[in-house]
Structures are given as C-alpha cells and as structure tokens.
Amino acid sequence: MPITDLDQLIKRMQPVLNPGVFAFVSVNSAEALKSVKVIASIWEDEGYSAVIEERDALSLGLKIMFRAGWITLNVNSDLQAVGLTAAFAGALGKAGISCNVVAGAWHDHIFVPIERASAAMDVLKNLQKSVNV
C-alpha cells in the first residue's frame, strides 16, 4: 500500500544503487531509441529526452548530456505524498550533489553524477537513519 506519511517514507526509503552508468540524451523522436531499453523519457519542445544505458548511447553515437548513477528508493511512495523529494534533494544539495528525479508509479528514482553515486548513497542512508519513527 502506498505511503504518504513523510517520516515513514524517509525511514523506509531503502535506497539501492542500480548497477551501470546511465546517460541523459536528447533525440528527435522515440523511434531513434527503438533498439535500446529506455529507462525514463519525456517529450519536450526541443526533442525527446531519455535516460538510457551509457553503452547504448555510445553505440548509437549520441551526445551524452549527463552521466549518472541511478538510485531507486524502494519505499512504495504515494504519487500524492508531500515532502519526500524535498527531503532527499535538500540532503543531497547540502552535500553538494545534484540530482534529477523521476517518479515511477511505485518508486522514486534519483539520477546523480556517476562520480558522486557512492556519496549520494551515504547521504540517503544517513537521512533514513535520522528519522525516529
């Protein structure tokens, strides 16, 4: 059952760093990525923005706009829950780590600079431990 209580969301985040390096790319159409697995995407006026595995971006000769580590928060967060994104983005920001967030139907996904992925995991785990529920 989806959770809405902020303290419970933070306490149960259970962040996991997915293996691999992920690339933010922009192409003219989704068709350009039909041969690869798209992790996340959105249409923008400038083109079709997507997150794919770095090796796929390289094999397609695409410009990589951002190299990222992909962290999944395994808590089942309600899509209308308030404050979770602000909490983890604030903690990461305080540590000087940028983040790009994608909300899935069941979990939140955070993309951080690949070279800071381990540090981001530490920040998230410390945030999780800071809540007494």
pLDDT digits (tens, 9 = 90+) for 69-113: 999 999 999 999 999 999 999 999 999 999 999 999 999 999 999
Tell me the three state secondary structure of residue 65. Answer: coil
Which are the contacts of 38, defined by CB distance < 8 A and separation ≥ 6?
Answer: 30, 50, 51, 52
d(CA 44, CA 29): 11
| Cα 123 from Cα 114, distance rounded (Å) | 15
pTM higher than the cut 0.85: yes
Q: Write out the DSSP string of 22-37.
A: EEEEEES-GGGGTTS-
Spatial separation of the C-alpha atoms in residues 15 and 17, rounded to whole Å: 7
Q: In the prediction, which pLDDT does 83 show?
A: 96
Q: What is the pLDDT of residue 122?
A: 98
Mean pLDDT (the chain) is 96
Tokens for 91?
Answer: 């903690």
Q: What domains can be seen in the chain, in order of their start residue?
A: 6-129 (3.30.2130.10)
CA atoms within 13 A on the CB side of 57: 23
